[in-house]
Amino acid sequence: MNKLNVKRRIVLTGGPGGGKTTALDLFRRELLGKIASVPEAATMIFSGGIDRSLDDEVTCTQQIAIFNLQRNLEDVQRKMNPDCLILCDRGCLDGLAYWPRSDEDFFKTMNTTLEYELSRYDAVIFFETAAKSGQEIKSNNPIRNESEQTAIVIDQKLQRIWSQHPNFNLVSSSESFIRKVMFGIMTIENVINTI
């Protein structure tokens, strides 16, 4: 992945209501033609007529579908845009935070390892949920229906997973959403310039 002439792949992730999708939308407009973005696989699946479930078996099946769609979307964007930086709205490891069984079971089911999945990305930019600073996490995304407390729990799980990446960048929660998104965009720019 880190060979010369190979464009990079960055994952933007974090807890629900963190601002990553907003930052990605703004950044995509600024760098039109230079980046290719990968949409969030879970949103695609859940907005396409599949309902979220509290049943562990159904949740596992849904997460398998999300994992495979995420990986394939990333590969499609790479093939369609070989000269662009790939910015991913979430990454393949996000499903681990929603997996109702052990981490080991997740990796066995997905036929992969933590190390391999981390190596797929050159950098991780983590947008901490606004719920951590006591804010509501209203969203234009109807699929995002987590409470503030659930968002914090998911954020903690995701941060535990992704912080193991050697190029992990945290965009902390802030009382000002605009300042946070601007800091996030500056972080994206800094990461792009250093990888």
pLDDT in tens, 143-181: 666 778 888 999 999 999 999 999 999 988 877 777 777
pTM for the whole structure = 0.87
Which of these, 100, 101, 97, 94, lies nearest to 120 by C-alpha position?
94
Three-state DSSP string of 110-149: HCCCHHHHHHCCCEEEEECCHHHHCCCCCCCCCCCCCCHH
Structural domains for the chain: 9-194 (3.40.50.300)
Q: What is the pLDDT of residues 77-95, one digit of tens each?
A: 999 999 888 999 999 999 9
Q: How confident is the model at residue 142 (pLDDT cuts 50, 70, 90)?
A: low
